[in-house]
Structure formats: C-alpha cells, structure tokens
C-alpha cells in the first residue's frame, strides 16, 4: 500500500510539474505597432468590399470627372454632380489594398440613379472602357435624405479612373 501511495504521489507530482511547465508564466502584452491598413474596419480587412465589374456600356464622357489623382495621393475628395447628390471618395488605403470607400448622399432626388466609375487604359477618358463599376444612389423619401456607403474593390489601379452620375 505504501508503494502504491508513493507511486501515486510521484505520478501526481510529475503531472503537476508537466502541466505547470506548459502554461506561460504571465500573459505578455502585445506591443506590436499596428499600421493604418490593419486598423481599418473589419469588413474591409476581411474582404467585405463589393467587386462589381459590369459590362461596359455607353457613357457620357463629356460629364466624367477624373479622380485618379485621389488614388495616387491616397486622399479624399468630394463631388456634387448636381444640386441634390453629394459624393465623397476616400482612397486613403487604395494603393495598399485596391479598396475605395464611396459615400453618396441624395438630399432630394426622387428617382433612383447611380454613380458610375469607369477605368480607361490611358490618362484620358478615350478608348475602350477597361472596367466599370455602378453604385446605386439611394432614393430620397420626403424630407429624408438617402445615404449610401460602399467599400469598392477596384480591379486595377493602372490607367485612369473617372466618375459620373448615370443619366
């Protein structure tokens, strides 16, 4: 019986020693530096952006505005295509992950519309459209403005990107 107790005691001491060695002494604080792209909203980090590449269609090139400079400078800009619609583009991390945040406010326009982003191969909006993305504008109801915020994944940053309000 004494030998059983001695063996059991030695076994329990060994188990305690092994389990204690497997646990960390103290939890360590994570002191890594987090970059801006890592701190972006989780939906963007997990790839929750729209990636709509619709077939190119006829666009009114006379009313297109180039926003490629915003992507190059990783900045923000806004645009008022008419008195009712306001568009904000945020390209602060587009060079890193091809993602662009587009916010559209429709203050009084009663019909549905869209902001169309078109990419051309060169610096001008001539030649065939390489990529095109259509972002629906919300319809304003009564005195309530419609607000749409989208994270868009641009298929390519080459060439030049232009935006316009769909006719």
State yes or no: pLDDT of 84 exceeds 60: yes
Which pLDDT value is given to residue 1? 62
Burial status of residue 54 (CB atoms within 10 A of its CB: 0-12, 13-18, 19 or more): exposed
Which pLDDT value is given to residue 35? 45
Domains of the chain, residue spans: 49-165
- Terminal CA-to-CA distance of the chain, rounded, Å? 94
- What are the φ and ψ backbone dihedral angles of 95, each rounded to 5 degrees? -60, -30
Kindly report the CATH number that applies to the domain delimited by 49-165: 2.60.40.1920
What three-state secondary structure class fits 88?
A: strand
Q: Are 125 and 46 in contact (CB under 8 A)?
A: no
pLDDT tens, position by position, 89-120: 999 988 888 899 999 998 887 666 788 899 99
Measured CA to CA, the distance from residue 161 to residue 167 in angstroms comes to 18
Q: Name 116's bridge partners.
A: 134, 164
What three-state secondary structure class fits 158?
A: coil
pLDDT tens, position by position, 49-71: 655 555 545 577 888 999 999 99
> Of 7, 145, 8, 164, which is closest to residue 82 (Cα–Cα)?
164
Which pLDDT value is given to residue 162? 94
Is the model's pTM score more than 0.75? Answer: no
pLDDT tens, position by position, 9-24: 777 777 766 665 555 5
């Amino acid at each position: 019986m004494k030998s059983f107790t001695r063996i059991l005691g030695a076994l329990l001491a060994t188990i305690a020693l092994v389990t204690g060695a497997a646990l960390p002494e103290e939890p360590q604080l994570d002191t890594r530096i987090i970059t801006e792209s890592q701190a972006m909203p989780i939906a963007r980090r997990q790839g929750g952006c729209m990636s709509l590449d619709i077939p190119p269609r006829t666009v009114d090139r006379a009313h297109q505005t180039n926003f490629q400079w915003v992507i190059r400078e990783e900045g923000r800009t806004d645009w008022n295509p008419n008195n009712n619609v306001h568009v904000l583009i945020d390209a602060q991390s587009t060079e890193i992950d091809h993602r662009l945040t587009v916010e559209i406010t429709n203050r009084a326009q009663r019909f549905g519309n869209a902001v169309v982003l078109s990419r051309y191969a060169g610096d001008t909006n001539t030649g065939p459209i390489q990529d095109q993305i259509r972002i629906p504008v919300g319809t304003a109801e009564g005195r309530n403005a419609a607000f749409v915020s989208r994270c868009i994944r641009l298929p390519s940053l080459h060439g030049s990107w232009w935006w316009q309000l769909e006719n």
